[in-house]
Structure 1
Amino acid sequence: MAAGKTVRAAIDELKGAVAGLESVIDGRLDRERDRVEIEGEVRRVNTDRARLAQELDQSQFRANRLEEVNREVSRRLVTAMETIRAVLDR
């Protein structure tokens, strides 16, 4: 009977070790899945950052261009007003 208890104890110990191993494996798989998800999110964030940086550059270019056009329009308006004044003063 002692041998039966020893075998049963060894089997129970083995079952416990297998359950522990399964738990560790499940934890490892969960961490790996999380890591893959995080890497995907980092890639998406980097892609968004690059797109936003490009859009910002384009917006800055358009703003600079509008500023130049605005200065040119202002210059032309001043010239036109001076011409009108000169005509009216005659």
Structure 2
Amino acid sequence: MADSAQNSLEDADRRLRLALERLESAVERRAERDAVLMNSDAELQRMAADRAKLAGQLDNALARAERLEQANREVSKRLVSVMEMIRAVLGGRKTG
């Protein structure tokens, strides 16, 4: 009986150690997955911040392009006006 009890204790001890090893492995895997998720969340937040920054820069660039387009139209109108004045002056000399 003593041998049987000893064998049962050793068997229980072995099963307990194996269960603890499995538990430790599971905890380590979970910690690794949690770390990956935290890194993913941090990367996602960085990407969102970059996106917001780029969106702001795009808005600024579009506004600047619109201002440049308006200035270009104004310059074109003035050039046409000046060319018409020059033609009128030159045309007046030829006829006068």
Q: Sort the TM-score into its range (normalised by shorter chain).
A: over 0.9
Q: What is the percentage of aligned positions where both structures have the same residue?
A: 42
| Amino acid in structure 1 at the alignment position of 2:41 | E
The 5 Å alignment of 1:1-90 reads 1-90=3-92
Question: Rg larger in 1 or in 2?
Answer: 2
Deviations 1:36-67 (A, max 9, x none): 10110110010011001001100100110010
CA shift, 1:4, in A, is 1.2
Q: What's the TM-score, normalizing by structure 1? A: 0.97
Q: Superposition RMSD on alpha carbons, in Å?
A: 0.6
Gaps of 5+ in 1: none
- Taking the aligned partners of 1:89 and 1:29, their CA distance within structure 2 comes to 88
- Taking the aligned partners of 1:60 and 1:16, their CA distance within structure 2 comes to 65
| Paired residue total | 90
Gaps of 5+ in 2: none
Q: What's the TM-score, normalizing by structure 2? A: 0.91
